[in-house]
Amino acid sequence: MLENLLADYNEGRSMSFYCLATALMPLELIDKAISGLKEKLASNQIDSSDIKAKAKALRAIIQSLAQERGIELKFRKKMLNCHPE
């Protein structure tokens, strides 16, 4: 699933997001997101040749589905104290 997302919908900035989404979300939700994007492409709401528009739309659909399920798609960076006192 991740390989398909990266091959078809990565404009160069979405790799981390897709990795996180496929790790945290059920795959049927990812399938649902791709189906939703394909519907938008079929109805010409999004230009199928515009990779940036496709990636942006897919990220928005995935984010929306994740929020509906209570899944937070954010990396959490832990602050480390590099200078112990």
Look at residue 37 and tell me if it is in a domain. Answer: yes
Contact 5, 27 (CB under 8 A): no
pLDDT class of 75 with cuts at 50, 70, 90: confident
The pTM of the whole model exceeds 0.75: yes
Residues spanned by the domain of 21: 2-68
Tally of structural domains, the chain: 1
Dist CA 55 CA 9 (whole Å): 5
User: Does 54 score more than 90 pLDDT?
Assistant: yes
What is d(CA 70, CA 76) in angstroms, rounded to the nearest whole number? 16
CA dihedral 36, 37, 41, 44 (to 10 degrees): 70
Residue 42 falls inside a structural domain? yes
Inside any domain, residue 46: yes
Q: Write out pLDDT tens, residues 24-44.
A: 999 999 999 999 999 999 999
CA dist., res. 82 & res. 70, Å (int): 34
Average pLDDT score, the chain: 89
